[in-house]
Amino acid sequence: MNKLSKYSPIRGLGGMGFIKVASAIPSLRVADCDYNAQKVKDLIVKADGEGVEIVCFPELSITSYSCADLFFQKQLLDNAENALGKLMSETADLAIISLVGMPVRMGNQLFNCAVVFHRGEILAVVPKINLPNNDEFYEKRWFASGAAVSTENITLAGQETFLSANYLFKTDDFSFAVEICEDLWSPVPPSSKLAVNGAEIIFNLSASNELVGKHAYRRQLVEQQSARCHCGYVYASAGYGESTTDLVFSGNAFIAENGKLLAESERFSFEPQLVITEIDVERLRAERLRNSNFSNERDYADCFEVNFSTGKKAAQKQTLTRQINPYPFIPSLEKRDETYNEISSIQVAGLAKRWQHTLIDKLIIGVSGGLDSTLALLICAKTADKLGYDRKRILGVTMPGFGTTDRTYNNARELMKSLGISTLDINIKEACLQHFKDIGHDPEIHDVTYENVQARERTQILMDLANKQNGLVVGTGDLSEMALGWSTYNGDHMSMYAVNSGIPKTLVRHLVNWISEQMDQNSAKILQDILDTPVSPELLPGDEKGEIKQKTEDIIGPYELHDFYLYYFVRFGFTPEKIQFLAKTAFGEKYSCEEIDKWLKLFLKRFFQQQFKRSCTPDGPKIGSVNLSPRGDWRMPSDAIFGEW
């Protein structure tokens, strides 16, 4: 890769990998370069004051996009250069990087360009490659394509600089590149090549007119390109003030990250707009690191690298403006029904295949009246219905022990009755007392032995019933319990097919609630009471009122925090410091810093120490991008040291 210049590095927001960017839509006048440059300057100053590191303006923002044959006028081109020179001079003391659009002459050709400048100096000029030539736009009438330009020396606004479509702008902390409007709509956008060569954020200076339905398609293009390239994508399109002789421009601004839209402008606003958010380049790097095909098309010889620094003062504090979703496993409201239907369908399909393949007669499942066994039982019922089997081929077993409360026991019995499955009730107290006697354990000592004897007794019953009834034991444990190792080895840790193994605890709760909405009133009432019951293994006797005393989240911490930690640790490989920062941003009003730190340390400790349980877990269907199956998604040595984490 060719290096054109090198300066000192810069640092992103708080050292956490966040780059604050802005898409700016200024007000403008057609062919009034001084006016337009002044409005651009106003937004640059505002953006810099808000800690923005890079701001992007629309295509041909110095002249306006809709000048048409006025682009042939030397006066307009001279005015544009003079306005650019004045703009750079008046913003030379600002740390922000600016990208503005204007026509640029080189020899006897005119190019539609993005000018990238910083502290009064032009870093490089990027020409548009794909020029539209259709019923709406006739750019080939005025401009030449930058496709044939490798890198050329030009003079612009009194400065010697370079012009090429193959620039990769790079600092020690992040890198970016530029494409212009129609480039994104082409079969192979220039940003695809620039991304595989290292660009983490793509900026698009655009002037895309409005048509009915075009807005949604344009948004999809931005989202899809950011997903395909594992990049941030900042899009700024011309707005109010452009000529409306034949077309109307609405002022579209989008900022996307890896397929997700982070921020957008108000369309058809008559006022200038500055859309600001942060792009997490560490997250993008994690995605690229896991995609072994990402760099297949890399060709360093095609790109010219520009290394530079914004020179921001270290003491300048930036704040995070983007929201961090505290529940990364929970879909948005508009996608709720579609997502939950898909999840349950995956579970049903996995269990149905196992049921048919093994030629077994019954599904055997332990039903405790808790969330996990409830979801697993509901999936068993859905699977029987899908296969056209009698629900009586599902055997639900209640196994009350020393800690079982009337509430959970009755809910389990009533739920099984409402679903119309076969039932069996086996009290495990006598068997456990005999086992205590056999191994010499005092039943008054309520330690881990006391608890695990009960868990293993239940598993033994289920496994032996499966042998007796030609059945298959359906596991109920979830992804969060796997992450924390919150299970008894060879107890509830083991089954013959684990339908919940890909679903974290927070999602289990939402799925049960969603299914309850589709059931009869009596069943829904039972499910709602199950949802209101504290999460507990019920392995210790209840309190004096016979209510649950052993509450899981009092012991190991809130599952919503652990699921948050799990997502960012496994999905992106973030450091504890980054996860801590995100958690405090997401949960700052709900949990104290001390609580977040405490439970994060516990999560990391248990995640490492309990890997040996995950190394021999039963089969189960993968549901989302985070999974802990030792056969595919998570392969980790059981004796890895967690101290460094």
Catalytic annotation on 128?
Answer: yes
Looking at the DSSP assignment, which residues form a beta bridge with residue 104?
Answer: 111
User: Out of 67, 113, 181, 432, which one is annotated catalytic?
Assistant: 181
User: How many CB atoms are closer than 10 A to CB 217?
Assistant: 11
Burial 376-394 (b: 16+ CB within 10 A, else e): bbbbbbbbbeeeebebebb
Q: DSSP for 381-397?
A: HHHHHHHT--GGGEEEE
Q: Residues 454, 432: contact at Cβ < 8 Å?
A: yes
Helix ranges (H only) for 145-270 are: 182-185, 190-196, 214-228
Backbone φ and ψ of 220, nearest 5°: -60, -40
Q: DSSP for 4-62?
A: EE-------BTTTTEEEEEEEE----TT-HHHHHHHHHHHHHHHHHTT-SEEE--TTTT
User: Out of 41, 128, 362, 505, which one is annotated catalytic?
Assistant: 128
Q: Whats the size of the chain, residue-wise? A: 645
User: How many CB atoms are closer than 10 A to CB 246?
Assistant: 10
Catalytic annotation on 181?
Answer: yes
DSSP SS3 for 413: helix
Backbone φ and ψ of 168, nearest 5°: -115, 110
User: How many CB atoms are closer than 10 A to CB 76?
Assistant: 18
Q: How far apart are CA 522 and CA 349, in angstroms?
A: 27
Q: And the tokens for 513?
A: 């609630």
Sign of CA dihedral 442, 443, 447, 449: positive
Q: How far is CA 13 from CA 51, 168, 312, 331, 575, in A?
A: 9, 21, 11, 28, 15
Q: How far apart are CA 124 and CA 94, in angstroms?
A: 18
Backbone φ and ψ of 294, nearest 5°: -60, -40
Looking at the DSSP assignment, which residues form a beta bridge with residue 412?
Answer: none
Q: Residues 247, 215: contact at Cβ < 8 Å?
A: no
Contacts for 76 with CB less than 8 Å, ≥ 6 apart:
31, 33, 63, 67, 70, 103
- For residue 76, the number of C-alpha atoms closer than 13 Å in the C-beta half-sphere is 23
Q: Which amino acid is at 276?
A: I
Q: DSSP for 109-125?
A: EEEEEEEEEETTEEEEE
Radius of gyration of the chain (CA): 31
User: Out of 33, 56, 59, 139, which one is annotated catalytic?
Assistant: 59
Contacts 24+ apart (CB under 8 A), 350-357: 350/497, 350/499, 350/620, 350/621, 351/379, 351/380, 351/383, 351/474, 351/497, 351/499, 351/621, 352/383, 352/386, 352/387, 354/472, 354/496, 354/497, 354/619, 355/383, 355/387, 355/389, 355/472, 356/387
Number of separate helices (H) and strands (E) present in the chain = 19, 21
Catalytic annotation on 59?
Answer: yes
Catalytic residues: 59, 128, 181
